[in-house]
Amino acid sequence: MKIAFAGLGNMGLPMVNHLIQAGHSVAAYNRTPARTMRLAKGIVRVANSPVEAARDAEVFITMLAEDAAVDAVLFGKQGAFNGLSRGAMHVSMSTLSVAFSEHLTAEHDAAGHAYVSAPVFGRPVAAEAGKLWVVAAGMQEHLQRAQAVFAAFSQGTFTVGSRPALANAVKLAGNFTLAAMLETLAETCALVRKLGIPEVEFLNILNTALYKSPVYESYGNLIAGRQFEPAGFRLRLGLKDVRLALAAAEAVEVPLPIASLVRDRMLAMVAGGAGGKDWAVLSELAARDAGMQ
């Protein structure tokens, strides 16, 4: 399959490598050209602009940080919309707002493109291993076409409906649960730490007697080891996702009081200069509030 891929960050780069290994033809674009140096030259075609990448592509994949970045790649002066042919498919794997995903649906429908929203759950280590989880929504025939793409770097796909924005809603809701978990874990780790119980011992009890969760284990290890750099997922992006979850909830009149609390906790850390660190750094605020920093 002829694939164009925009966004060679910590997630996108290994996804491209898996697509190549699966036998797809890939044209890659990244706003920062230096990232393309890590691609297999002669195998991946490096494009100088989104429109160049999109020409002749059957599928155009975006894996970018936010609505504005996707908007620029699609609709900017050298945007991919100017290169996509009728019948080509855009697969958005970014964590976007529900409202922007609805906008993309309308634009692609008007242009005669297929559109699938398919954000993923998993950190960069899962992308490297080809073990991401895909949450997809779109027309059934479009999802069937996209499945060959998902299979290259995922361990499974959850289909949540024919309206693409539903996948974004699920992704935002999922990321909110992770953010709430981080705040809870941060507070409880601060409590046991101040009482003199080693955090690793507490976390071992949690993962043996209560949760048996790789999520609690991995984030617990980051918190206990104060390992917040390099970031697997930056706090600034986590704050963005909680804000988008709140916006989606407000649009349908659903209160999310815990999300409001977590947003403010994240905002305090970002204001203090921690926005580029892993979002597990939220634990440092709980420790500081407990007088341990």
Catalytic residues: 171
The type of residue at 172 is L
The sheet carrying 2-6 orders its strands as 45-46, 25-29, 2-6, 59-62, 89-92, 114-117
Task: Report angle CA 119, 110, 70 to the nearest 5 degrees.
Answer: 35
Q: The tokens 């504005």 sit on which residue?
A: 68
User: b/e for 118-152, b at 16 or more Cβ within 10 A?
Assistant: bbbbbbbebbbebebbbbbbbeeebbebbeebbeb
Q: Alpha-carbon distance 104 to 109, whole Å?
A: 8
Residue in the block written with tokens 């399959």: 1
Contact 171, 178 (CB under 8 A): no
CA distance 50 to 86: 17
Q: Where are the beta strands (DSSP E) in the chain?
A: 2-6, 25-29, 45-46, 59-62, 89-92, 114-117, 120-121, 132-136, 154-159
